[in-house]
Chain A
Amino acid sequence: MNAATLAALNAARAALRPVVLATRLPDGHQMLLPDEAASPALNAAALVALAKDKNGTQEIDGSAWFLHAYAPPVRLVIVGAVHIAQSLVPMAAPLGVQIIVVDPRRSFATEERFPNVTLMDDWPDDAMKAIAPDSRTAVITLTHDPKLDDPALDQALRSDAFYIGSLGSRRTHAARLARLAALGHDEAALARIKGPVGLDIGAVSAPEIALSILAEFVAYRRRLGRPA
């Protein structure tokens, strides 16, 4: 790889622009796709690789090409800069996700408590409108406070978010679902919310709960929304 290609690739990633680094094997000729100068077959294969987030070698135009897909990172929106979020954030960071913590209570959402993440102190409905969750976004609410959790869940359900989780006991969750139903969400929509959130591993402490939530998040991410 030459330095110019590496710089262009890193610039595209920084700008959250999806690109594919195509390498011809074995001579190592490279290009960034999509590119008008590349063949239609290469560009088409690159778009498929990005959509599937999948790297691999393919025979294209009579040559072997390794297509390395660099889709923008999956976004993990955490509503509630609470104690569990303080465990969740450092555990999520090495998973290669972009973390956004939303909490309008400024004493909670401080840089000191949450270094190196995007902090938003807007109300959750405004924050969620700005974030605009898509099919590469997960939303987890942790506040237990209906004023904060409900608007975030309401917006998440109106989006293509691939994973929606909400912290709270079964009783809390049942009451939450009733409130969201009153906002017009039907049963199928409400079933998208994982509550109580996380895999059932008997988690007790904040780091254990964070682990169970992230395990469920990974199951959804890797199985494209169809966990076993």
Chain B
Amino acid sequence: MSLDILHQAEAWRAAGEEVAIATVTETWGSSPRPAGSQLLVSRSGRMEGSVSGGCIEGAVAEAAMTTIATGVPQLLDFGVTDEQAWEVGLACGGKLKVFVEKLS
């Protein structure tokens, strides 16, 4: 069986990767993944896990790259009223918050 997200994070870090962890912290409406769902992103571009049905992973990965570079965590808002979310297409009509932090 594949490693779970937190063991994967430890393994990537042990292998010398810089890693950010994105976690769904709140959802409203028909968000596809519940609070606590996680996406792992490495500086080299590896991804593991998910925070949505695939609609916002790209935007979250981009934010993760910033957090990896700066070390500053971010609380991202995605929702239908949000112009950025419209661009990345949260087609389900749900709304969610995602916290992105660097594994230091």
Shortest distance in angstroms between B36's beta carbon and chain A's nearest beta carbon? 3
Shortest distance in angstroms between A175's beta carbon and chain B's nearest beta carbon? 38
Q: Give the bracket for the number of chain B residues in contact with chain A.
A: 20 to 34
Q: Are B73 and A27 in contact (CB under 8 A)?
A: yes
What count of chain A residues pass the 8 Å CB interface test?
24
Within B76-104, the residues touching A (CB, 8 Å) are: 97, 99, 101-104
Residue of A nearest to B34 (CB): A55
Complex interface: chain A residues within 8 A of B101 (CB): 1, 23, 28
How far apart sit A68 and B36, CA to CA, in the bound complex (Å)? Answer: 6
Q: Are A55 and B10 in contact (CB under 8 A)?
A: no
Mark interface residues in A38-55 (1 if CB within 8 Å of B CB, else 0).
000000000000000011
* A26-B73, A28-B101 known; A57 vs B26 contact (CB < 8 Å): yes
Residue of A nearest to B24 (CB): A55
List chain B positions with a Cβ less than 8 A from chain A: 1, 4, 6-7, 9-10, 13, 21, 23, 25-26, 34-36, 73-75, 97, 99, 101-104
At the interface, is chain A mostly helix, strand, loop or mixed? mixed
Within A56-111, the residues touching B (CB, 8 Å) are: 56-57, 66, 68-69, 93-94, 96
Q: Could you give 22 example pairs across A and B, Cβ below 8 Å?
A: A1-B21, A1-B102, A1-B104, A2-B103, A3-B13, A3-B104, A6-B6, A6-B10, A23-B23, A23-B99, A25-B99, A26-B73, A26-B75, A27-B73, A54-B35, A55-B36, A56-B35, A66-B99, A68-B36, A69-B36, A93-B1, A96-B4
How far apart sit A211 and B74, CA to CA, in the bound complex (Å)? Answer: 40
